[in-house]
Amino acid sequence: MSDLEILVPDERAASLDEVVGILSQPSPPRLPFSDSTVEFCAAFSQAIFQDREAARYPELAALAFWMRKAEIIRLRSDFERAVRADTVAAPRGLVFHVPPSNVDTIFVYSWLLSALAGNRSLIRLSSTRTPQAEILLRLWRQLLAQAPPEMQQATVVVRYGHSEEVTRAFSMACDLRVIWGGDQTVSAIRSAPLRPHARDLTFPDRSSLCVIHAGRYGELSEDGREKLAEQFFNDAYWFDQLACSSPRELVWCGESEPVRAASRDFWTALGACVRRRQHQSPAAVHMRKLVFACESILDLPVSEYRRVAETTVLQLDSPEPLSAEHCGGGLFFERSIRQLGDLAPVLQRRHQTLTHFGFPRLELIELARLLAGRAIDRIVPIGQALQFHRFWDGYDLLQEFCRLTYCEAAE
């Protein structure tokens, strides 16, 4: 298979038989949160923090912060408390990760939780190369060269194009397959059969939105509004608004006059933030947004079209749900509701993350209960949309990466 490359633990061309042979070799058993895994992840975090090239990308800094040693120890403590006294947590075995091509760091987050659970990992990267992914792979290889044998044998990262033969072979070798990507990707990968005991963990097309209480926004100081715009920028623009958890719609909650005032102020503040960050989209993204905006104006009850800096805003006068299609690049639908519960009819199963400002915890919990699992897997403050967590898309990923052995002693 000429286009198959091994990227980690070393970098070289490889045949399919060679990679399958590597995966079939016995590996030393590791229990969840082994010392060697914790130390390796902590060293990986430090390597990212200290790398000059990595410092150019805020998403890499966020990854390094999330996998720092203090956070891993906190994860271990939470995990140990969650495991019942009559069960023993063990790794599932070999996990085959298929990450998306539009979010450059997801493959490390997915690997990290799998590795902390004690699994071996096979990670397939697409033929699309990004500077962020190349930096991570370079640092990974450097660290593994100094790592103990159990870490060197625990991970294989490969790159290949769309090959059903390779995907089928890797799928038949794994105990858990983790598919990140759109609906089409999930369907295509799922067509490759698994062994009877293996299972899939899927992350299909999702979309997200933001809700702000207009009255409480109006109570913010100028510095507070500027900070909120900065946090919203981080949520939306890091991955060109294409991450599943990035907001595509902004919903204002409150009476009409406070909503109008808050809207004018917010988009102005966001435009200033975009200019301050010197964010510029390529010409192709501008064209994509223009075409999408024109189609939306024809197909939807759009009452106003606004452009501020790199941001396009389409105001809606109808509560009807939107389709899953979106162009990314800084285009937002905007609408208003009177109270938070009015958001429920707009939400669909594909809605993943709701970022918010100005609502008390009990009101957010009441919305989650009203939805009863029909929509929304994450409710987090503005600024945390892209902050990865063990709880994602309704899964506790650490638990999903483990098997539990029930153990009852005689009286």
- Tens digits of per-residue pLDDT, 381-405? 999 999 999 999 989 999 999 999 9
More confident residue, 320 or 43: 43
Q: How far apart are CA 104 and CA 29, in angstroms?
A: 30
Burial level of 38, CB count in 10 A (0-12/13-18/19+)?
middle
Total domains, the chain? 2
Does 199 share its domain with 212? no
Please enumerate in sequence order all residues whose Cβ is within 8 A of that of 121, keeping only pairs 6 or more positions apart, or say none: 94, 95, 97, 111, 114, 115, 154, 155, 156
- Tens digits of per-residue pLDDT, 132-145? 999 999 999 999 99
Q: Residue 93, by phi and psi: left (phi above 0), alpha (psi -120 to 50) or beta?
A: left
Q: What is the CATH number of the domain that holds 265?
A: 3.40.309.10
The confidence score (pLDDT) of residue 94 equals 97
Q: Is residue 76 part of a domain?
A: yes
- Tens digits of per-residue pLDDT, 156-213? 999 998 899 999 999 999 999 999 988 889 999 999 999 999 999 999 989 999 999 9
Q: Is residue 306 part of a domain?
A: yes
Q: Is residue 301 part of a domain?
A: yes
Q: Is residue 246 part of a domain?
A: yes
The confidence score (pLDDT) of residue 300 equals 93
Residue range of the domain that includes 303: 207-389
The amino acid that residue 69 corresponds to is K
Does 372 share its domain with 398? no
Please give the share of the chain, as a percent, with pLDDT higher than 70. Answer: 100
Does 196 share its domain with 237? no
Mean pLDDT of 358-364: 97
- Tens digits of per-residue pLDDT, 57-85? 989 999 999 999 999 999 999 999 999 99
Does 222 share its domain with 183? no
Does 398 share its domain with 360? no
The confidence score (pLDDT) of residue 1 equals 42
Q: With the C-alpha atoms ordered 341, 343, 349, 355, is the resulting torsion angle positive or negative?
A: negative
Does 169 share its domain with 55? yes
Q: Is residue 315 part of a domain?
A: yes
Q: Is residue 43 part of a domain?
A: yes
Phi, psi of 281 (to 5 degrees): -90, 150
Does 186 share its domain with 239? no
Does 240 share its domain with 101? no
Q: What is the CATH number of the domain that holds 176?
A: 3.40.605.10
Residues in the chain: 411
Q: Is residue 325 part of a domain?
A: yes
Strand segments, DSSP code E, in 328-374 are: 331-337, 351-357
**Is the separation of the CB atoms in 316 and 342 below 8 Å?**
no
Does 83 share its domain with 177? yes
Burial level of 273, CB count in 10 A (0-12/13-18/19+)?
buried
The confidence score (pLDDT) of residue 324 equals 84
Q: Is residue 411 part of a domain?
A: no
Does 216 share its domain with 121? no
Does the pTM surpass 0.85? The reply is yes
Does 153 share its domain with 278? no
Does 146 share its domain with 293? no
